[in-house]
Chains A and B, each alone.
Chain A
Amino acid sequence: MIYFDNAATSWPKPEPVVDAMSHFLREVGANPGRAAHHLANESGRIVYEARESVAALFSAPDPMRVLFGANVTQALNLAIKGFLRPGDHVVTSGIEHNAVMRPLRALEEQGLRLTVVPCSSQGWLDPGNLEAAIETDTKLIALNYASNVVGTIQPVAEVGRIAKRKGIPLLVDAAQAAGALPIDMQTEGIDLLAFTGHKGLYGPMGTGGLVVAPDFDLDRLAPLLLGGTGSHSEQEVQPTFAPDRYESGTLNVVGLAGLLAGVRWVQAQGVNALHGREVALTQRLIEGLLSTEGCEVYGPLDAEAQTATVSFNLRGVDCGEVGLRLDQEYGIMCRVGLHCSPAAHRTIGTFPRGTVRFGLGAMNTIEDVDVALDAVRDLAGE
């Protein structure tokens, strides 16, 4: 069995992640921030340490500006709906996931103005084109760090410099990049970083959040949900400070226990070391696919310029059939179709056909890649 669907969610998880979640459920279990007995405090410490570990991973100076939520989609909705108003102008790229496009398109119907800057057929945004799209009332730049379809890594630091020069906040969708690539919010000029816990951070589903830079004015970011926070309970209005303002309702602490263990695992392995290993596997995969007769491969075709996500098609064969046969006949699990990203598929020229996507992760081996390449060659040869 070969699991190549890590771009959807990483699996298997490192043992410390499973152990941390099991420990929480067996030994801790209490609600953080709602009482001050010793188990509630222990639960709260797990949440706080998760904030610190996430802040450290992204070089964010203030752990209290790590706002936890259910996933990257919720974090992106918070950033987009919480910050933008009708009449604002937003610049984004032509390779965004629907987690960015759908909230933006919905706001567009309420008067938001949106400019989508096209990307090259390999998925790259030209920062010069983005700068040219900026208008006097542009309020936000929203950019995918790395594509979920073809892995293309965007020139985020360059866009960050443009954003700083223009005084426009930069929102980055790091769904595919967090943990897989080194991210430094300060040097890359990222104001709002949306991440998910269950991909490159090797935590469980149901974890993620928005990391906010210290100089971003939180008065301009409205929360998505209002409710109990365990703080200032005498007041019937929402607290004004982070993180409480943005974390109404009980957090997924068992998930955050797993996320904390996942981030620690990633830090112990080293982001650069994990990335280097994935580059080697990805390059082997790309070269193998390119040398397969009848195989069309999309994206940068250079493992250094992308994450470990590779999209391809077999000429004349429906990608769904390829995915089904890889699973049933070879035990290889991947994802086919449009990957919630019609914009990306239009950019690379595979809309509405879609692609077969191999998403590699830290648990994959060279043998996995070679077995998968043999399977693809078998299917392509028929």
Chain B
Amino acid sequence: MGEGEYTVILVQSTSHALRGEQVLGRAGLSCKLIPVPRALASDCGACLRVARSDREAADQALRAAGLVLEGLHDI
């Protein structure tokens, strides 16, 4: 995968990542649950990875659902 291809979205916990997965799915956005990259946070849970092109739409959909986003990182 090339630089800038994806955006990783950090949420509060795996519970929230799972909620985010549902929210994005219902918004028609595809995403993948991945382990939190160690470079981004020292957590041991999951976060969301979306296509870079879906970054803004995913950001909006997740915030609209009341999720607290702890960071969006392009990788």
Residues of A in contact with B (beta carbons under 8 Å apart): 32-36, 40-41, 44-45, 47-48, 52, 62-64, 229-234, 239, 241, 243-244, 247
Contact = CB atoms under 8 A, between A and B. Distances in A.
B12 A231 contact: yes
Nearest to A241: B12
B19 A232 contact: no
Contacts of A230: 13-14, 44-45
B40 interface: no
B61 interface: no
Given A45-B18, A45-B21, A239 B35 contact: no
Contacts of B22: 48, 52
Contacts of A247: 15
Interface string B43-58: 1111100000000000
Interface string B10-45: 001111111101100000000001111000001111
A35 B34 CA distance: 9
Nearest to B11: A231
B68 interface: yes
23 contacts: A34-B44, A34-B45, A35-B35, A35-B46, A36-B47, A41-B18, A41-B33, A44-B15, A44-B17, A44-B18, A45-B18, A48-B18, A63-B19, A229-B13, A230-B44, A231-B14, A231-B15, A232-B12, A232-B13, A232-B43, A233-B42, A234-B42, A241-B68
The 6 closest A-B pairs by CB, nearest first: A231-B13, A33-B14, A36-B46, A36-B35, A48-B18, A234-B42
B66 interface: yes
Contacts of A33: 13-15, 45-46
A233 B18 CA distance: 18
Nearest to A247: B15
Interface in B51-75: 66, 68
Given A36-B36, A232-B12, 7 more contacts: A33-B45, A36-B34, A41-B46, A230-B44, A231-B43, A233-B44, A247-B15
A243 B33 contact: no
Contact of A244 (B13, B35, B36, B46): B13
A36 B42 contact: no
A233 B43 contact: yes
A233 to B, nearest CB: 5
Contacts of A44: 14-15, 17-18, 33, 46
A52 B15 CA distance: 12
A229 B14 CA distance: 9
Nearest to B18: A48
A47 B45 CA distance: 15
Contacts of B68: 241
A233 B46 CA distance: 12
Contacts of A36: 14, 33-36, 45-47
Contact of B18 (A34, A47, A241): A47
Contact of A32 (B12, B14, B34, B43): B14
A62 B16 CA distance: 12
Contacts of A239: 12-13
Nearest to B68: A241
A291 B4 CA distance: 79
A229 B16 CA distance: 12
Most B CB contacts (10 A, CB to CB) among A62, A63, A229, A231 go to A231
Nearest to A240: B12
Contact of A241 (B13, B21, B46): B13
A52 B23 CA distance: 12
B35 A47 contact: no
